[in-house]
Structure 1
Amino acid sequence: MLYDLLNREDLNWRKLQLYTAKKLIKQEGKSKARALVVDDSVKQRRGKKMPGVSSHFDHLTGRCVMGQQVLSFGYASDSQFVPLDNELFISQTKAQPLTHKFKD
């Protein structure tokens, strides 16, 4: 049931994430150390025919891996990190085609 809910494309997940982040940041109060953070990570995925996976250069390992590149934008303070938005990037190199297009 949880996976069915998470797979629903008719829900505005970005809006929900931003709304939740705003609530968490307001509850925190004033913090001395605050920053906006942009992170570009490669999430390695395994599988022969996994859709939405492509080749990316992973700077941590120093080699190309099959996976998804995730760009995250968030708010960091001395007590917490709150993600504000995320985006998946699928490159054209060795890309496994999606079985169906996303509706967004």
Structure 2
Amino acid sequence: MTLATAEFIRRFLIHILPKGFHRIRHYGLLAGGSRKTCVAHARELLNAIPPSDHDATDEPTVIRPQCPCCGGRMIVIEVFERWRQPRGPPESATANRENAS
């Protein structure tokens, strides 16, 4: 698709929020720290079968760092030096592609 410059800029600027606004990415049952309690309450109201607990010995425990912004668990894909831009895909992504083929 080829766009005129003005049309491209217009479409691009649609995605930029004005100052003072904050983009909300998750809301409803899956929002924030109340996710587990909300989903558990929804299962209770629907009389759904609770998920089975997996043995801790089946899966290795992976300790993930905590996000400084939201407190959720982060999955570190790549670490690079400050003020440097990453070059190419992360090492883990290329390793996954090589293992898949």
Normalised by the length of structure 1, the TM-score is 0.26
Q: Which has the higher contact order (CA 8 A, sep 6+)?
A: 1
Normalised by the length of structure 2, the TM-score is 0.27
Higher strand content, 1 or 2:
1
Higher helix content, 1 or 2:
2
